[in-house]
Chains A and B, each alone.
Chain A
Amino acid sequence: MPSYHSAANRHLRDANQLFGAASFDGASHLAGLSGECAIKSVLCGPGGVFVNQNGRPNIGTESQKTFFGHFPDLWAQAGIFLSGRNINSIPGIHILQGVTNPFLGWQVSDRYEADGTVLKSQATTHVQAAVDLGQVVENAFLIGINLA
């Protein structure tokens, strides 16, 4: 069973360390994973999305096999899905409804690419976005929302 909240914090901590060591490919990769976990911790907590037998966030029923996957699509998918007073009471959650997707251009498959594929400027954007999402999750935790 995944623990998205805990994983989001761990990936963010590691992303920050890699960024500090100028390892921008790794920092960007982990920042993206941290952001994904942060969103999934809300989706699968108050968002009511269930984690299926394969450990994936599944909308509707098991047989529908509609999953929340990776950035960049996940950003807009979550923004469209989240609704209701409890969700909207999380300070900062509305960033998902904002006009810019900071993970545009981020691909989980970039982990197979050559060193130096991700520029420092891109990694900066991704790490900052992961920090922002980490803040949203921290806010949710403090207001008493059970996160996945």
Chain B
Amino acid sequence: MSVDFDKALQLALAAAEHATNAGWPATIVRDLMGRCRLVLDDRHNRIDFPEGLRMELTRMLAELGNFCPSPSPVLLASQLLDQGSLIDDESMAVHAISSGSSVGLLERSVTGQDWRSASNKTDQIEKIVFYSLKGGVGRSTAAAFLARDLSERGHCVLLIDLDLESPGLGPMLLDNDTYPKYGIVDVLAEAAVGNDVANDAVTRCLKLGGTGNGETWVAPAAGSPRDGYTYLPKLERAYAVLPSTTGDLPQSFADRLQAVINSLSKAVETLSRRPSVILIDSRAGMHDIAGVALTHLADLGLLFASDTELTWWGYGELFDQWTERPSVARKVRERLQVVASMVDGADPGAYLRLFTDNAASTFERLYDESGPGDTDSFSPSRDDLFAPHSPIPIYFDSDLRHLTAARLERALSSHKQRGQYTEFVEGVRRLMGEQS
């Protein structure tokens, strides 16, 4: 059996550990094909890199078989034009080694890296991201019910559809004659060349208008259907990294999304008033485009889940990559909240107890290990009702499946169906620090 993808990393870690213990701190750079190259930090060493060690490391890396890069499986940082960025990158995973030190692993993948770094935490919850591993779990409907509730309480809510591959909010909430001219794909496409069309990408949604001072604005993924209007050519370009407009760092997808949200928020402010809450319906799945909404946009990330092995395996994979990057895990974990979506069955209480157990087992990798009197650590207990793993439930209602715009309007006014969402909207309001 030849060395496979996972085994190759183990062998590379052994080589990196050997180099680090010999006084040459190593970073593994795993390339697009999964091949592992060692970059050794020689910037502070006063002696020349020993040729014997290079040969030894080269021999160790040769054991990776087809996962050994060629040429130059071992590089010195001083040989590189950019000596610092490989070694000081927040997206680098940290692997502990036996000497008590650590080696870094930098992933060079086809997807973006924004889901492996995180924006700083904020005190105020303004942006709430609706995320799930799979579609069809009721994210968009929950967003609509929450928007309705918040607007009834006087909030100015902006609801943004970032599920660009399978847009749902627009068709569900807007009639053809209320669609704005442009959608999110247009805002991204136009912004890439310096145009701002955000004022024509938001529309007031009277269905979610509420009463009194409250209002809801919707930014759909696509613009109003019309002759000559295209969607896919813009979607194909939506995730591009673009040159900087100010001469410094390029605009990552996370930067571009943040700019889009700021421009949409400003548009609503121009047309009415500044949104107090922004609800973002994210793309589903284990993908950087979906993950970036949690790591860079969310003040609160609602993780929709059902109690299945697939759910906990998927969230476990997502959390593991943050756990390997401790500074990212620290920033992200307190902004997460699991939502038990479509809770069904004769005994919802029993279902939620099991759900909580599985959620706690999955989330605990993000928590600190704490001892008695350790007050600075983040380590909520399993039965802590306010922990990220403690689910906010939404109860299943077959009438809420496959909602059309007309049926949604009826559901939003239905006492019974609003009841399915009572705990959810109250739970989110609590997280926002609002009184019931």
> Which residues of A are at the interface with B, using a C-beta cutoff of 8 A?
85-86, 88-89, 92, 94-95, 97-99, 131, 134-135, 138-139, 142-145
B32 interface neighbour in A92, A95, A131, A145, Cβ under 8 Å: A145
Which of B32, B35, B69 counts the most chain A CB atoms within 10 A?
Answer: B32
Using a Cβ cutoff of 8 Å, how many contacts connect chains A and B? Answer: 45
A94 interface neighbour in B33, B110, B250, Cβ under 8 Å: B250
Measured between alpha carbons, how far is A134 from B241 in the docked complex, in Å?
A: 19
Chain A residues, CB < 8 A from B39: 142
Chain A residues, CB < 8 A from B81: 131, 134-135, 138
Interface contact B243-A94, CB-CB below 8 Å: yes
Can you list 18 A-B pairs with a CB-CB distance of less than 8 A? A88-B240, A89-B32, A94-B240, A94-B241, A94-B243, A94-B250, A95-B243, A97-B242, A99-B243, A131-B81, A142-B31, A142-B37, A142-B39, A143-B31, A144-B31, A144-B32, A144-B35, A144-B69
- CB-CB contacts below 8 Å: B217-249 with A: 240-243
Interface contact A143-B108, CB-CB below 8 Å: yes
Whether B29 is near chain A, meaning CB under 8 Å from some CB there, is: yes
> Which residues of B are at the interface with A, using a C-beta cutoff of 8 A?
29, 31-33, 35, 37, 39, 69, 80-82, 86, 108-110, 240-243, 250
Interface contact A135-B82, CB-CB below 8 Å: yes
Grouping DSSP codes into helix (H, G, I), strand (E, B) and loop, the B interface class, with mixed when no group exceeds half, is: loop
B317 to chain A, nearest CB (A): 21
Chain A residues, CB < 8 A from B108: 89, 142-144
Q: Which residue of A lies closest to B245 (CB)?
A: A99
A136 to chain B, nearest CB (A): 10
Chain A residues, CB < 8 A from B32: 86, 89, 143-145
Interface contact B110-A85, CB-CB below 8 Å: yes
Known: A94-B250, A138-B81. A89 touches B109 (CB 8 A): yes
Which of A86, A88, A142 counts the most chain B CB atoms within 10 A?
Answer: A142
